[in-house]
Structures are given as structure tokens and as C-alpha cells.
Chain A
Amino acid sequence: MAELTYRQAVAAALAQEMARDDRVVLLGEDVVSGGVFKTTAGLHEKFGADRVWNTPISEQAIAGAAMGAAMGGLRPVAEIMFADFYATCWDQVVNEIAKVRYMTGGQVRLPLVLRGANGSGGLGFGSQHGQSVENWAMCVPGLKIVSPAGPAEAFGLLAAAIRDDDPVLVFEHKALYGRREEVPEGEHVLPLGRARTVRAGGDVTLVGLSITVGTCLEAADELAGHGLAADVLDLRTLVPLDAAAVLASVRRTGRLVVVEENPGQLGWGSAIAAIAAEEAFSDLTAPVARVSGGNVPLPVAASLEAEVDVSAARVVAAARAVLNYR
């Protein structure tokens, strides 16, 4: 076991896969110098100029070049520096990358990864650099969506994404980049579409993703202080979705709180809530509760940010409400 930060885990996973397969190449803004979040640190020095390519600030060119390269026999990993910038290359992502396999009747496959920094986490990045945008991608068939909650997941899920023969979007959380954790030694790959039970409990199910897994754990600690045991589930990936894990937990607890960082007006949590309502209705002893980011663009001042971001206190309140439901 080695203790790595989340950002070191990203770089280490890239190094592991680049060493394993010389078709894996990197492209993106500033990736040669290690990137603004230092997630590609040392890779240019280690693997050379043929494997790590700096691009202009041209997200359409980055995403499109990744797609073309994947059709041309490489397994590119493109950095979209901030996930908010997907808006500048959304055509490439949803109209081209997501659909080309289908539209060509299976003539091509796209083993490519788009990855970058996502989320708020109270860092003051504001409306154009602090959004959680997994839900943007979730309504587009053809994309896989990965969102790691810690260093070991950041490593293992990125490795799996690179080995996948379909396009995968990896949303790294910028507020977790400094988080440290033991990461298994040797080859570390986690399957896509398998949720993780972070803590077992029988009273209420808390479902989180990425940074909200920590929020759920914090809430679970507080609930435990009141003698309430929460089952905390880390989804790890939204597509493929481990719906079976959510449903199995709900069958045990009868109560579900879904915690997402993006605005709730159409967040991924609504899909989880709908699945629970459709497939576990008779197991539910209370309505599903959702805790989400506010339905506003993100403010910057810390006091305003805290007002709209998810928090353990809001998760606790939601959990208590479903536990007290009569």
C-alpha cells in the first residue's frame, strides 16, 4: 500500500496504463508541464513527447482529436481542464463521440477517456469553474460516466476507463485532489458499474457520488451519535449504474436519501429516486428525499457558497425527516 493524494493517484493511474499499453496517449492544455491540477505531473518526462501532447485552448479540437485518434488505433486520454468547459465542446461529446459507434452500425468503437476537474466543494471557483456536471452527460446514451470519491477510486476507475472500449467521461473532484489515502500496490483496476458500500447500516440508505460520499459519511457519523445506523453507498459510476445495489439497500432500510452536488432541478438523483419509486415502492416506508446543490448558478463568497452547496447538516436533516415520516 502506498499513500497517495487524489491528484497523485490520477497521475499514477495514467502512468500505469501508459506503461502497460503504448497506444495510450495524453492530450490537453498544459499537460506537458503537469497540468494546472498537477494530474499529469512527470508523465512527459517519463514517456516522452510522442505520448504527451500540449494543445491550444481549443476544447473542440481536443475532444475531436481524441475521437479521431481512437478511430485511428490509439487509446487517447484527453484532459478537459475544468468540466464546465465541456460546454465548449459539447457537440463533439454528445453528437460525435457518444453516437458514432451507433450511427455507423458498429463500424467503429471509441476507446477514449475525457477527464478533468469537476465540482464545487466550497473552493470559490464560482459559476463557470465550479459546477458539478455529471448530469449533463447522463441524459446522453453512449457515454459512460465515472466520478471517483477518493484516491484509490481515482486510480482504479481511471485505469478501468482507459481499458474500456467505449468513451468514458471521468469527473475528478477538484476539492478532493489534495485528499490522501492508501492505494493498493501493484496493478489496481476497479470495475465500472459497481457501487461500494462505504458503511453498513439498517435504518436509512444514503447514496452519494464523488465529494458527496464524504458528506454522507459525515452525516452518518452524526446520525450514529443519535443511535441511527446509515447504509452509505458510493455509486462510483453513473453509467453504468449499479441500480441493483441501491435497490438492495433500500429493501433493507426502507428509507432513501440521495445526495448530489449538482442543482437538483434535474440532477442524477432524480433518476435514482425514480428507479426506487418504480422498483422498490413497496419497500419504501417514507418518500425518497433528495439533497442537492441549489438551483442557482454558483456564487463565490464563502458564505453564499455554503448557502447553496450540499452539507452534512442538510443530509442529516433529510435523513431525520424520512426516519420520522409517518
Chain B
Amino acid sequence: MDGLELYVRMCFLRHFEERVDLLYRRGLIHGPAHLGLGQEAIAVGAASVLRPGDCSLGTYRGHAHALARGAPPDAVLAELLGRAGGICQGKGGSMHITSVEHGYFGSYAIVGAHLPIACGLAWAAKIRRTEAVTVCFFGDGTTNIGAFHEAVNLAAVWRLPVVFVCENNWYMEYTPIADVIPVALPAADRAAAYGLDRVVVDGNDVTAVQRVVGDAVAAARSGEGPSLVEAQTYRLKGHSAADAGAYRPAAEVTLWRERDPLLRVRAALTAAGADEAELDEIDSRTRSDVADLARQVLDRPVPEPSGAWTDVWSDGSWQWRN
């Protein structure tokens, strides 16, 4: 995937999340929404090194990870807006966006829960000898929950083809991660405990993410076992769309705005000779594409209420007794 394509994808994610933010503030999103604004380079860079058949999993901040694997944006938006044709049929919402068809095995809203599940997907690939790799994204706060330790340990002991990618945005919800870890870096400084290398990448540099996660994925695919990658980034907005993020020092926010992954990829492309006008055109086209999409999805009907009763048992019913 060339630099321009990475830029197109990142622009789309940026405008998608900004539109979600807008829709949230208009009261059109039912339930919470956690935005990936500022973290686009990780989702796009990592997805660009995966093959069809590879698996990925994310957190409740998962829209970008689903879309980056190819989940249809209209179905994702319909899920967020509670309209017919939602990717989870209206039963998951923002925090549980899933597109198995595209290898995205779900967004998990209990911190750390999906790391053991990622181990299981990787374990199945190892047993079935499919050469598929699983990539699991999680936040810095996850490194303090027990499931993180259990999963990374199991992956290392079983030498599973899994890549754990910590998106360190420096905040555990509203609290600086430094306040709640006894080491400097939440994931990288703990890698040694599992016999893994200390891997840190600039998570706002999409080509760096591509290279570092690409190496980890290749190692996993060739049977060398798991990796733990710490990708350093920053949320441009609050923890959720309901949070203004006022607890963050203004100077810090300003500093990270200068490191915006969109600005970074643009600068790199321009330095390599890309046409500024073309980049601007991509930016405005993806923005209007998302706006059009939102209008179309808002025009859809709501899901049939009877859908609430299916998908509990395999036979489609919810009956627990005769």
C-alpha cells in the first residue's frame, strides 16, 4: 500500500470520527461513543500489513480498527445511529463494532478482556496451521488489568502468532497513565517480564507503524511467536464524545496537535513530491463522502423491534425453557 493510499484511509477515518462527534453532540448517537481521533495512523498502518484471513480485535475505541480492515462504513454508521442495517443489527452499538467477514473479530468494552480472546484466535490458527496472524489493539490503561498479564504470558509460553499493540495515548480514561504505573512506559517496560523485546514505535507516524507492526506480524507468521508493541499516540478529544478532556494541560494538547498523524503523513507525502492540491482534494472528498453517508443512513428506518429476540442461541431463539 503506497503512502497516498494510507493518507486516503486516514483522511476517511478522521472525517468519519469527526462526523460521529458531531452526530453525538446533536443527540443522534444512542449510547456512548469513544473516538479514535488522533490515533488513525495505528489503525491504518497496522491494517495495511495484514492479509485476508488475519484477525484483529480492538477496544470500545474501535470504529477506526473495524473500518481499517474493510468494514462497510454505512453499516458501522447505521450501528452507531440505531438504524436498520447496522453491522451488529443494533445489538452492539459503538463499543462492539465487529466485522468478522473482514477479519475484525470485535470491539470489546471490558478493558483487557480481548487479549485472552486474541490468544484463542492465534491458538486456533497455530493448531490449524493456517498461517493467520492475530493483532490485538488495546490502550495504556489495559496494562494494569490482570487479563493483560495472563494473555501476554500465555501467548509467550505457547508461542502464539499474535501481536499485541498498545495504543499508548498517555491517559487511562481521565487519569494520566504515569500516575498509575510504576515504570515509564506501560507496555514496553513490561515486555521483559514475558521474555519479549522492548518495542516502541511512534504511533503517529503511519509508515513507522507499518514497518514495526509489519515486522512483528512477519515474525508471528513465520512461527517466531508473539510481540508486544507500544505505539505512542494521543487522543485529540476526550475519553469519550461526552468528555471535553479538560484535565489535560493546554501546552500538552498543543504539542500533540503539532504531531497530528494527518499532518505528519501529509508532510511526508509533500516532501516526497506529492501534489498539495491533490491532497486537499482527497481531504475534502472524504469529508463530503462521510457527510453524504451520514445523511443516507439517517434516512433509514429503525431496526424491527423483533430483532431484539434473536441471536442468543444458534437456532435464533431466546427460549431458555420449554
| Chain A neighbourhood of B321, CB < 8 A | 239-243, 275
Known A-B contacts A95-B113, A141-B318, A240-B320; A69 and B123 likewise in contact (beta carbons under 8 Å)? yes
- Give per-residue flags for A55-66: 1 if the beta carbon is below 8 A from chain B beta carbons, else 0: 110111111111
A102-B91, A166-B313 known; A64 and B113 CB under 8 Å?
A: yes
B88 touches A72 (CB 8 A): no
Please name all residues of chain A whose beta carbon is closer than 8 Å to the beta carbon of B120 when the two chains form the complex. Answer: 64-72, 76
List A residues at the B interface (Cβ < 8 Å): 25, 50, 53, 55-56, 58-74, 76, 91-92, 95-96, 100-109, 141-142, 164-166, 193, 239-244, 275
Q: Is the CB of A65 within 8 A of B119?
A: yes
Q: List 6 A-B contacts (CB under 8 A).
A: A61-B119, A68-B117, A69-B124, A103-B88, A105-B86, A107-B98
Q: Is B106 a contact of A239 with CB atoms below 8 Å?
A: no
A96 in complex: contacting residue of B89, B100, B117, B128, CB < 8 Å? B117
**Shortest Cβ distance from residue A133 to the other chain B in the assembled complex, whole angstroms:** 18
Does B319 make an interface contact (CB < 8 A)? yes
Measured in the bound complex, the distance between the Cα atoms of B79 and A90 in whole Å is 27
State which size class the interface on B falls in. 35 or more
Q: How far apart are A86's CB and chain B's nearest CB, in angstroms?
A: 15
Closest 7 CB pairs of A and B: A68-B120, A64-B116, A72-B124, A105-B89, A58-B150, A65-B120, A61-B150
Q: A92-B113, A96-B108 are in contact. List 6 more A-B contacts (CB 8 A).
A: A56-B150, A68-B117, A69-B124, A72-B55, A103-B96, A164-B314
Does B135 interact with chain A (Cβ within 8 Å)?
no
Cβ-defined contact, B119 with A68, below 8 A: yes
Complex Cα–Cα for A243 and B320 (A):
10
Cα of A322 to Cα of B311 in the assembled complex, Å: 41
- CB B300 to nearest CB in A, in angstroms, measures 15
B156 shortest CB reach to chain A, Å: 10
Q: Which of B115, B117, B118 has the most CB of A within 10 A?
A: B117
In the assembled complex, B312 has its CB within 8 A of some CB on chain A: yes
User: In whole angstroms, how far apart are the Cα atoms of A135 and B113 in the complex?
Assistant: 23
Are B123 and A102 in contact (CB-based, < 8 A)? no
A68, A92, A102 pick with most chain B CB within 10 angstroms: A68
- Which residues does chain B contribute within 8 Å of A58, judged by CB atoms? 150, 153-154
The answer to whether B87 touches A73 (Cβ under 8 A) is no
Residue of B nearest to A51 (CB): B127
**B118 contacts which chain A residues (CB < 8 A)?**
68
A164 CB to nearest B CB, Å: 8
B312 contacts A141, C-beta separation under 8 Å: yes
Query: A106 to B311, Cβ gap below 8 A?
Result: yes
Q: How distant is A62 from chain B, measured CB to nearest CB, in Å?
A: 8
Contact code string B79-114 (vs A, CB < 8 Å = 1, else 0): 000000011111110001011110001101010011
Closest to A50 in B: B127
- Given A96-B113, A103-B98, also A239-B320 (CB < 8 A): yes
Residue B157 interfacial (CB < 8 Å) = yes
